[in-house]
Structure 1
Amino acid sequence: MLDETVVPESESDVMVRRARRPGSTIELSFFMTTLGLSLTGVAISNLILYRTCVHVLRHGRAECSSFLAVDKTNDTQYLEKEVQRYAIFVNSTKSVLESLAPAVLSLFLGSWSDRHGRKPLIVWPLFGIATTSMLVLIYSMVDVGPWWFILTSVPYSLAGGVATLSTGSYSYMSDVTSTEKRTARMFTVQLAASGGVVAGSLLSAPVLRAVGAVYLLLAGASVAAFTYAFTNVFLNESLTGVVQGSMTSIMDLQLVTDMSRECFRRRPNNGRAQVLVVAAASSLSAFVTFGIMNLEYLYTREKLHWTLSEFTVYSAVNTLLSFFGGLIGMSVLQGLFKISDLPLAAVAFVSAAAEYVAKTLAVDSWHMYLGASLAIFKGLSASLLRSFVSKVLPADVVTKFLALMSAVESLCPLLAPLVYSTLYGATVSTAPASVYVLSTGIIVFCIVLIGVVLYFRRHATTPYEVLQPEPF
């Protein structure tokens, strides 16, 4: 058995052919992407509710028009449960479509990008987002049923979606940063994305009120198109000596074989178990996120009778608190007190569990804000877990393992909405908070998993010793 050894930075550079040079900033791209998506998200949800009410349930347009209102009234209260149940089914089907292709692509793209570069893994999903945003705009102008909306997700799915964008961005950060600065840089990208969510959430309701849904969706599509064009032109490739790849070169089963062999190799001191358990915790956290994502607005409409404006303000405050919580976590807990990635990830999971408990017990609006306050460290976990993986695996294995994590997490938008939507649909009349009870249980299990990895690492002499493979 080989002893754990630290791979020198220069050796890691050779492994992945790093190219640190100007043009390696992706923060603006993430800010603009999340700005466009959060700007249009709730308006799209209202549009689906309206189209479901009119085209599927056959209610009158005047009767259903309140679903499009920025300020919710009680006019559609008697329709809410019926419309929500069907709209949830539509959104779940859309989530399945958006998850299938990214899950399959992620199995190939990790090894593929080692030869053909990281930039395609970033610009392809942005192109898919831009194309889908344009199709959503067209859908809003054509009076058809909600099932046609699902077709707008095809470009997003075939371009790799969030799974490929996540793999590409975290691999890119691993290439262009040193071990010491990697966690902070990955979190900077996450902060940029959070800033876009805050800006989009705050602008959504007033822009919708001022110009209407069509022009709001036009603005979102324009932002997405600009983001793709800007990134494609100005973002430099992080690797040198890359070979131009083609779509046919991706679907090579040898790429999957290479990834599997490297990701599941035995490593010293339960190294294989360490990274796989971390990946499991990250996947379960993503499962909760994707399960709750499309239900929180419906939950607040049903239980607290919130308007769109109230929800968008809450979303902005929630993201803003997470933004400042992240800054405190990185600058104080990790920067000043030197708390390493895994213990801080455990703190993040405890913060998330406290949030879901508060929302489970919510009977008034301020309880939702209490939950958001308790969740200030919640957003740290994704960056911390990936940062940990990038530091303990050899540099030529990092992207392969991140791709494996993305492949597994790509199944979350596929499975989580089915589980959560089924549970919410069955309990919306009696116990709509049951989805938060489920979330609490899953996050508590994530805390246990992090504890297991910390137990495995109790004999590590340094926080981030590289886990070299054992000889066959």
Structure 2
Amino acid sequence: VLKQTKMAKAERKNSEKDKDNKTKDAKAQKVSIDSMSWSQRYDFLMENITVEPMLACYIIPSVLASLATQNLNLEKACRVNLGYSKEVCDALTERRTQNYTFEEREVQQLVASMGVWKTMLQSALPAFLIMFVGSWSDRWGKRKPCMLLPIVGEFMTVVGLMICTFFFYELPMEVAGFVEGFFPAITGGWFTMFMGVFSYIADVTTIDMRTLRIGIVNVFCSLGIPVGLALSGVLYKKIGFYGVFSISAVMYVMALYYGWKKVKEPKKIDVPTLPNQPCAFIRDFFDVRHLMDTFRVAFKQGENNRKLKVMLLMLVVMVVIGPMHGEMNVAYLFTRYRFNWDEVDFSIFSTYSMVTNLIGTSVSVGIFSHILKIDDAIIGIYSSMSKILSSFVYGFAKTSLVFYLGAIVEILNGTSFIAMRSIASKLVPTDELGKVNSLFGACEALMPLVYGPMYSATYAATINVMPGAFYILGGILTVPAVLIFGWMYVQHKKDAVFANTKSDLESGSKPEETSVIADVILSTAPKQAQIGSPLMNGVKNKSSENGIIKEFTVTKKEDLKHVENGVINPAFEIEK
């Protein structure tokens, strides 16, 4: 008995010592990071940058070429499809529209009508492919192909647009629209890129750092968009279609090289093998069983209402991302018609808007999330509210000054995307993130199919009455995001209270040091006790048998039953 007692004491002390050492190491690591100088923090940041430069070199040329692409469509609609004279089209290009309001409206309506089927082309195929891509990425542990293929698609797009520019009068507007939509569609586009990026970030970071890393990625996106917008109008004026598309092509090559050489694929241990048969990769990639597995993993039951939360987050993706895609279709047309802006005016405003958005995102991630530790759901609430309020400012703006004030009101809008991604990454393990992110990507890819035609139709129907009605529509459709984030915050608080209560109960039921002897005696004692003995029903009994025990209390461990019928249950421990 004494020997077993000493061994039990030694094991318990070693266990407590290991736990204390781990706690000290974690605290020491935290202190060392917090005590870094600014230069050391900069070096630490540079060491942890992985996909961000590649993402910036993907986003900047995409945004840079977007304004030139819209103008190419407008020019072709005017000069080729509608066949207006050089005098009319030059006047529309130079924004001398006082005597050509009818022609301006006809050109915009033709471009908006093409936007309906172009949006379907850009969204339907990626929404289908991304379901298989996410499952394949999880099974094989491959994230880089999901990030590199969209870059190839964008490169092919700008090359195709240069060909459409060269054969300007031979190829109508619809050919340019097809080129703009087809190549990104077959390679996944932005949806597959972001699915790969966020799955990769989740693979290489801890849960505690995940919100910060997702925020950093979003900041790089926010940096890339204003840079591209700021340069788009100026470069288009200076160097035209060929210059803008050539610069975009060079940047895509840089992004492709960086992603291929610098981004390291996370290693996966249990990699499957392909069967030795023709077209094995194609059969494995498009296997419907993997598609069903994606739905099973995403919608399987789990603790803390996992299934319901995943479904609600998919709805958040729709109501947060949808208005953004819808506004991108008609915002430039709206400012041309309402404020008589040209390319430079629109690019200046877009840059200003993205800079304010970047400031709001940086404050939210750096201060609210990382320093103040504000819950992700709360960040999502005030971000969605910012979007709702700004939509009314934009919609009712009669002057450029009021329109600029809308960007100030919308300053926190970008963080709802971060909050949604962060919550999703903490709901599922890393080996299931690709499947869940693919579902989010599919929802995002489907949104242009819904919001693009909706916004285009709304703008076309209200252009003579209230051109900014589509902004108000977007604000109303964002309201469900506020309700969902609010519910998730309440659930998170309930889960935290439950976890703390459970932890307190577990810590309160730990036996004292003297209970080691009691455990040994109990384990070596007879397994039968008569009614009225000291071991009945956990009741303290001062009587004794054979002088072995003078006084003790039997306590119940969690989720186990009392001693019944005089039989000792091992779920009981003697405390004293």
Give the TM-score normalised by structure 2: 0.74
Contact 2:199 2:437 in 1 (8 A): yes
**1:29-44 alignment, distance < 5 Å:** 29-44=54-69
1:166 aligns with 2:194: yes
- Cα distance between partner residues in 2 of 1:305 and 1:230: 41
**1:71-470 alignment, distance < 5 Å:** 74=98, 76-116=100-140, 117-143=142-168, 144-152=171-179, 153-241=181-269, 246-461=281-496
Higher normalized contact order (CA 8 Å, seq sep 6+, divided by chain length) = 1
The answer for the alignment partner of 1:55 in structure 2 is 80
Percent identity of equivalent pairs:
25
3-state SS in 2 of match to 1:49:
helix
Contact 1:46 1:67 in 2 (8 A): no
**1:8-27 alignment, distance < 5 Å:** 25-27=50-52
- Cα distance between partner residues in 1 of 2:499 and 2:224: 32
Distance 1:210 1:95, change over 3 A: same
Distance 1:79 1:394, change over 3 A: same
3-state SS in 2 of match to 1:338:
coil
Distance 1:40 1:459, change over 3 A: same
- Cα distance between partner residues in 1 of 2:304 and 2:147: 34
Of residues 219-228 and 34-43 in structure 1, the stretch that sits farther from structure 2 once superposed is 219-228
C-alpha deviation, 1:265, in angstroms: 1.1
- Cα distance between partner residues in 2 of 1:323 and 1:56: 40
Of residues 182-191 and 262-271 in structure 1, the stretch that sits farther from structure 2 once superposed is 262-271
- Cα distance between partner residues in 1 of 2:453 and 2:443: 16
Q: Note the alpha carbon deviations across 1:434-453, whole angstroms, 9 max, x for none.
A: 10111110112211122222
The answer for the alignment partner of 2:544 in structure 1 is none
Contact 1:35 1:200 in 2 (8 A): yes
- Cα distance between partner residues in 1 of 2:150 and 2:47: 23
Contact 1:47 1:67 in 2 (8 A): no
C-alpha deviation, 1:130, in angstroms: 1.2
Q: Give the aligned length.
A: 445
Contact 2:57 2:251 in 1 (8 A): yes
The answer for the alignment partner of 1:468 in structure 2 is none
Q: Note the alpha carbon deviations across 1:409-459, whole angstroms, 9 max, x for none.
A: 110122211111111111111111110111110112211122222233341
- Cα distance between partner residues in 2 of 1:184 and 1:266: 28
Contact 1:279 1:405 in 2 (8 A): yes
Pairwise CA RMSD of aligned residues? 2.2
3-state SS in 2 of match to 1:378:
coil
Distance 1:244 1:84, change over 3 A: farther
Contact 1:124 1:159 in 2 (8 A): yes
The answer for the alignment partner of 2:573 in structure 1 is none
C-alpha deviation, 1:244, in angstroms: 8.4
Distance 1:75 1:224, change over 3 A: farther
User: Where does structure 1 lack aligned partners over 5 or more consecutive residues?
Assistant: 1-20, 466-472
Of residues 397-406 and 448-457 in structure 1, the stretch that sits farther from structure 2 once superposed is 448-457
- Cα distance between partner residues in 2 of 1:298 and 1:96: 20
Contact 1:205 1:308 in 2 (8 A): yes
Q: Note the alpha carbon deviations across 1:174-198, whole angstroms, 9 max, x for none.
A: 0011111111111111111221111
Of residues 147-156 and 320-329 in structure 1, the stretch that sits farther from structure 2 once superposed is 147-156
Contact 2:115 2:453 in 1 (8 A): no
C-alpha deviation, 1:398, in angstroms: 2.1
- Cα distance between partner residues in 2 of 1:464 and 1:374: 38
Contact 1:284 1:443 in 2 (8 A): yes
Distance 1:164 1:259, change over 3 A: same
The answer for the alignment partner of 1:8 in structure 2 is none
Q: Note the alpha carbon deviations across 1:128-186, whole angstroms, 9 max, x for none.
A: 11111211121122122110012312221111111111110110000011111111111
- Cα distance between partner residues in 2 of 1:333 and 1:172: 24
- Cα distance between partner residues in 2 of 1:437 and 1:206: 31
3-state SS in 2 of match to 1:455:
helix
C-alpha deviation, 1:277, in angstroms: 0.7
- Cα distance between partner residues in 2 of 1:333 and 1:194: 18
Contact 2:335 2:341 in 1 (8 A): yes
Of residues 208-217 and 251-260 in structure 1, the stretch that sits farther from structure 2 once superposed is 208-217
- Cα distance between partner residues in 1 of 2:132 and 2:497: 33
Give the TM-score normalised by structure 1: 0.89
C-alpha deviation, 1:73, in angstroms: 5.6
Distance 1:464 1:443, change over 3 A: farther
- Cα distance between partner residues in 1 of 2:361 and 2:487: 24
3-state SS in 2 of match to 1:461:
helix
Q: Which has the larger radius of gyration?
A: 2
Q: Note the alpha carbon deviations across 1:291-335, whole angstroms, 9 max, x for none.
A: 111211111111111121111000001001111111111122122
- Cα distance between partner residues in 2 of 1:32 and 1:463: 45
Contact 2:144 2:259 in 1 (8 A): no
Contact 1:72 1:307 in 2 (8 A): no
User: Where does structure 2 lack aligned partners over 5 or more consecutive residues?
Assistant: 1-45, 275-280, 501-576
Contact 2:316 2:481 in 1 (8 A): yes
Of residues 42-51 and 265-274 in structure 1, the stretch that sits farther from structure 2 once superposed is 265-274
- Cα distance between partner residues in 1 of 2:212 and 2:245: 34
- Cα distance between partner residues in 2 of 1:68 and 1:167: 38
- Cα distance between partner residues in 2 of 1:127 and 1:463: 49
Contact 1:118 1:239 in 2 (8 A): no
3-state SS in 2 of match to 1:78:
helix
Contact 1:93 1:150 in 2 (8 A): no
Distance 1:430 1:147, change over 3 A: same
Contact 1:66 1:73 in 2 (8 A): yes
C-alpha deviation, 1:201, in angstroms: 1.4
